[in-house]
Amino acid sequence: MRKVSTRVLRVAAAVALAALVAAPAAHAQSSGKTIKFIPEADLRSLDPIWTTAYITRNHGYMVYDTLFALDEHFKPQPQMVDTWKVSDDKLTYTFTLRDKLKFHDGQPVRSADCIASLERWMKRDALGQALAQSVGEMKAQDDKTFSIVLKKPFPLLLDAIGKLSSNVPFIMPERVAKTDANTQITDPTGSGPFKFVKEEWVPGNKAVYVKNPDYVPRSEPPSWASGGKVVKVDRVEWLYIPDAATAAAAINAGEVDWWQQLPPDLVPLLQKNKDVAVANVDPLGSLGVARFNHLQPPFNKEKMRQALLYVVDQKDVMTALAGDEKNWRTCYSYYTCGTPMASEAGAAPLKGKRDPAKAKALLKEAGYNGERIVLMTATDQPIVNSQAQVVAEELRQIGLNVDLQAMDWGTLITRRTVKDPIDKNGWSMFFTWLVGPDMINPALNFPLRGNGEKAWFGWPTDEKLEAMRAQWMEATDLEAQKKVAADIQEEAFTSVPFVPTGQFIIPTAYRKGLHGVIVAPVVFLWNVEKE
Amino acid sequence: MFAYIIRRLVATIPVMGVVAIFVFSLLYIAPGDPAAVIAGDLATSDDIARIHAQLGLDEPFLLRFGHWLWGVLHGDLGTSIFTNLPVTQLIGQRLEPTIALTLTTLVVTITFAVPLGVIAAWKVGTWIDRSVMLVAVLGFSVPSFVLAYVLILVFSVELDLLPVQGYVSIREGFVPFIQHLILPSIALGLIYGALIARITRASMLDVLSQDYIRTAQAKGLANNDVLIRHALKNAAVPIVTVIGIGLALLISGVIVTETVFAIPGIGRLTVDAILRRDYPIIQGVILLFSAAYVLVNLLVDISYTLLDPRVRY
């Protein structure tokens, strides 16, 4: 009896194990109408006005809509707006909203919602703040029509309210938009093509969106953030998988449909899988930045900063950062290469043959005497660390006393706020990168500003740069803008607020069953269908 | 016995207090500022200073500690700086996967490791003993994340038998639930199993050399009876102790395993919170881990009375 029981138990265990392993692949759960997507980061905040984090901006594009949106020709196109007109004196812009615009709670989108949303955005966004200085009042004519009355012309008004990247002026219900601009909103109600399922949100793991059945897309084809936002699936799940090897295995095994950003070293692995497409869907890519501390020696001296233009080799930096040449290009401009303002005006020191002798001569002129230079690098950010390692070596070769200090990104971004000398926890240089849309023109390109203590970390002071930026914002046509942008760049290559280290793309990978992925500098989930 | 349990429970209060002070102080002096992380790359120093003040991070240490402690005493672990959600809610969301993973690992490892240790001791010096010890040494030597990747490669990517990542609640079905836990449990449990197998073997060897075992054998008792009823029961106290201590190993291992297998448990919550300096979450989780550890030790101590009648409290 006892032997029989043992045998029965063994057989039962074997059957259970076999059943477990052979059970219908519970791990390949994707239904035909659900896209499982690994985003670039974890969604931590739901407020795209409160934070500039790109992941929250991307969330914003899922659940909100915008009055205007940028197309692939860098032109703001009406999105929620149906018709609009501007007065002859360019001081009054009147907008009429499209029919049938509704928030996710069923309430119609009204002029009051748009005005409240713009007011909140203007308190946080740099371009919004510039616009606010020109705005006299915003008033609603009726529920569908409102106007912005300016005190002085602001030629970039449509560009501002159709801004592509953070902070994007998303339209929220008035009750939400009335929230203090310094306080996070908690209500994710928007009027965009997807609805956020807050009950299924597990920060650090998953964010879920479902199709908004009430959304009325425009009839034009999609072009970057503009055009028809036609949702072709029922549900999108953002699955945050922080470990790159696990994410690669998950897409290889078909557990996820799309991995937004994969490290260059994993590209060959995924390219071997015939069911996975590895592609570049970001036409602008990102730009590397080597930023100086302009307040402290030795980079408070212009000639010290200029010296680096003769030794930093974009090809070396980009090879370390992005590997295969298909994933990067040199970009000897302070603006995103491939966009209208980009040029090589004044770029000869950075573009020409590397010239350590010239660099050393400049160091001598600057009176450099072997002072310690603290370079901060974040070892948990490969894009930062590869730039730092290469540049540190290049600087050592011209005799700079480089102290490359490794830390994590959380520490680096805290320490870079320190304005004190290096012996008091200060710093000399750090490295980062910015997405292409943030550097396409002088109005958006914040590291290019020279407004001293109010500038981005590093705090350069350059009154000429600031005056020319104001001039650029008043330019009324493209040619005039290009001319001023080139002048700004020439000045920048003299005062060197930072050194551009090259332009790179981060490849994306998706299962070949996905179609209609939009090529744009921001990831959009509409128009994508799944077989 | 009851008085002993009450005494031990009361004794946990100062322990938790020390943990609370230690954790809070450590985070206070640690580099990094959540305001800088929140503000994003495009922020200015002014933006960060404003958020810093808004979060109350510029308040004096004692005031901040006092606020936090007052909340903890009222069952409020605070609010996550980033998600604006209560820490208790965030921990609540993550408890199930971690408990499921820990229990599965515990069951799997004890089921395999104790018998292997007993057999190794019984067949000491033979190829069986050496094989078991070889596996145990390997278990100690292979880092769990390396084993995890190998398991994923073999069983998920190549053989397509088990899922790569994620977690499915038992409410959505037992089969998908356990399918998602098999590989993480093996990766997490190997080092733990190796420890238990070695201790079981050593403890059993000690007991098997005792006179009463020889007496039992001389009386003609079956090997199974001698091993399980006489030897294993007497060797159980050190084994149970190690199982309890090993839970600390599991807790630290959970952090790595959950990250590799993208399991939304407490371990990953901790890592994410540390990377972005979400202090209320870190404090809450460490308090929880400490409480769990103290409780497990208490349970281990109580189990001694069941295993050894000589132990009385």
pLDDT in tens, A339-355: 999 999 999 999 999 99
Contacts A411 to B, Cβ<8 Å: 31-32
| pLDDT value of residue A2 | 42
Q: Do A410 and B179 touch (CB under 8 A)?
A: no
Q: Hey, are the CB atoms on B84 and A45 less than 8 Å from each other?
A: yes
Q: How confident is the model at residue A5 (pLDDT cuts 50, 70, 90)?
A: very low
- Reduced 3-state DSSP string for A234-283: CEEEEECCCCHHHHHHHHHCCCCCEECCCCHHHHHHHHCCCCEEEECCCC
The helix (run of H) or strand (run of E) holding residue A289 is strand A286-292
Beta strands in A365-487 (DSSP E): 372-378, 401-407, 429-435
CA distance B190 to B24: 33
Task: Quote the CA–CA distance of A185 and A170 in Å, as a whole number.
Answer: 13
pLDDT at position A22 is: 46
Mean pLDDT, all residues of chain A: 92
What is the percent of chain A where pLDDT is above 90? 85
Nearest by CB to residue A410, choosing from B32, B39, B152, is B32
Q: How far apart are CA A257 and CA B171, in angstroms?
A: 25
DSSP string, chain B: -HHHHHHHHHHHHHHHHHHHHHHHHHHHHSS--HHHHHH-TT--HHHHHHHHHHTTTTS-HHHHHHHHHHHHHTT---B-TTT-SBHHHHHHHHHHHHHHHHHHHHHHHHHHHHHHHHHHHHTTTSHHHHHHHHHHHHHHHS-HHHHHHHHIIIIIIIS--S-SS----GGG-HHHHHHHHHHHHHHHHHHHHHHHHHHHHHHHHHHHTSHHHHHHHHTT--HHIIIIIIIIHHHHHHHHHHHHHHHHHHHHHHHHHHHHTT--SHHHHHHHHHHHT-HHHHHHHHHHHHHHHHHHHHHHHHHHHHH-TT---
B190 contacts B144 by C-beta, under 8 angstroms: yes
| Stretch (H or E) spanning A81 | strand A81-86
Cβ atoms of B136 and B192 within 8 Å: the answer is: no
Average pLDDT over residues A493-507: 97
Residue A120 has pLDDT above 90, yes or no: yes
**CB burial class (10 A; 0-12, 13-18, 19+) of residue B161?**
middle
Measured between alpha carbons, how far is A470 from A455 in angstroms, rounded to an integer?
15
β partners of residue A68: A78
Contacts of B143 in chain A (CB under 8 A): none
A6 touches chain B (CB under 8 A): no
Distance CA B286, CA B40 (A): 27
Query: At B120, phi and psi to the nearest 5?
Result: -60, -40
State residue A32's pLDDT score: 52
Q: How far is B25 from chain A (nearest CA, A)?
A: 17
Does A4 reach chain B within 8 Å, measured CB to CB?
no
Query: What's the pLDDT at B14?
Result: 87
pLDDT tens sequence across A403-443: 999 998 888 988 998 999 999 999 999 999 999 999 999 99
Our separate counts of H helices and E strands in chain A read 16, 23
Instruction: Tell me which residue in A51, A408, A417 faces B40 most closely, judged by beta carbons.
Output: A51
3-state secondary structure of A111: helix
Considering only CA atoms, which of B275, B300, B64, B287 is closest in space to residue A242? Answer: B275
Q: Output DSSP code: residue A411.
A: H
Amino acid at A202: V
Give how far Cα B258 sits from Cα of A54, A424, B145, B152, Å: 25, 39, 10, 13
Give the tokens for residue A45.
């905040």
Structure tokens that stand for B187 in this block: 């990766």
pLDDT digits (tens, 9 = 90+) for A83-95: 999 999 999 999 9
With a pLDDT cut of 70, the percent of chain A lying above it is 94
CB neighbour burial string for B74-102, b if at least 16 within 10 angstroms, e if fewer: eeebbbbbbbbbbbeebbebbebbbebbb
Q: Give residue B222's pLDDT.
A: 84
Specify the range with the lowest mean pLDDT, choosing from A77-86, A173-182, A404-413. A404-413
Q: Specify the long-range contacts of residues A55-59, CB closer than 8 Å, at least 24 apart.
A: A56/A166, A57/A165, A57/A166, A57/A167, A57/A168, A57/A522, A58/A522, A58/A523, A59/A196, A59/A207
A240: amino acid identity, one letter: Y
- Listed in sequence order, the residues at least 6 apart from B156 whose beta carbon sits closer than 8 Å to its beta carbon are A27, A249, A253, B162, B163, B164, B183
- Average pLDDT of the residues in A319-344: 95
d(CA A290, CA A387): 8
The CA distance from A526 to A120, in Å, is 27
**Cα A472 to Cα A24, A53, A135, A347, distances in angstroms:** 62, 27, 18, 20
pLDDT tier at A26, thresholds 50, 70, 90: very low
Q: Are A438 and A151 in contact (CB under 8 A)?
A: no
Nearest to A192 by CA among A224, A228, A222: A228
Q: Any idea what the Cα angle at residue B211 is, between residues B206 and B212, rounded to 5°? A: 100
Q: Which residue of A44, A251, A459 is the best one to mutate when testing the B interface, meaning the one whose CB has the most B CBs within 10 A? A: A44
**Predicted pLDDT of residue A6:** 46
In chain B (313 residues long), the average pLDDT of successive 10-residue segments reads 82 85 84 79 79 82 88 88 88 92 91 92 93 90 91 92 94 94 94 91 91 87 82 85 80 87 92 86 89 84 79 71
Distances (CA, A) of A131 to A68, A119, A122, A492, A523: 15, 10, 7, 24, 27
CB atoms within 10 A of CB A218: 18
- Number of cross-chain residue pairs from A and B with Cβ atoms under 8 Å apart: 150
Tens of pLDDT, residue by residue over A132-148, are 999 999 999 999 999 99
So what's the pLDDT on residue B305?
Answer: 80
Q: Which residues pair with A328 in a beta bridge?
A: A504
Q: Tell the residue number behind the tokens 């690669």, with chain if given.
A: A248
More confident residue, A221 or A41: A221
What mean pLDDT is predicted for residues A459-466? Answer: 96
pLDDT of residue A121: 97
Kindly give, in sequence order, each residue whose CB lies less than 8 Å from that of residue A236, ignoring residues fewer than 6 positions away.
A34, A35, A37, A62, A194, A208, A209, A210, A525
pLDDT at A182: 82
Q: SS3 for A335?
A: coil
Cβ pair A168, A489 in contact under 8 A? no
A244 at B interface, C-beta within 8 A: no
State ipTM: 0.80
B10 φ, ψ (degrees, to nearest 5) = -65, -35
pTM to 2 decimals?
A: 0.85
> Do the strands A194-196 and A206-211 form a parallel or antiparallel pair, or are they unpaired?
antiparallel
A456 and A446 Cβ atoms separated by less than 8 Å? yes
| Cβ distance of B272 and A407 shorter than 8 Å | no
Task: Determine the Cα–Cα distance for residues A1 and B196; give it in Å rounded to an integer.
Answer: 32
Res. A1: pLDDT tops 60: no
DSSP summary character for residue A450: -
Question: Which residues, numbered 39 to 78 in chain A, qualify as contacts with chain B under a Cβ-Cβ cut-off of 8 Å?
Answer: 42, 44-45, 51-53
Cα–Cα dist B96/A353, whole Å? 60
User: What's the DSSP call for residue A451?
Assistant: B
Partner-chain contact A239 B48, CB within 8 Å: no
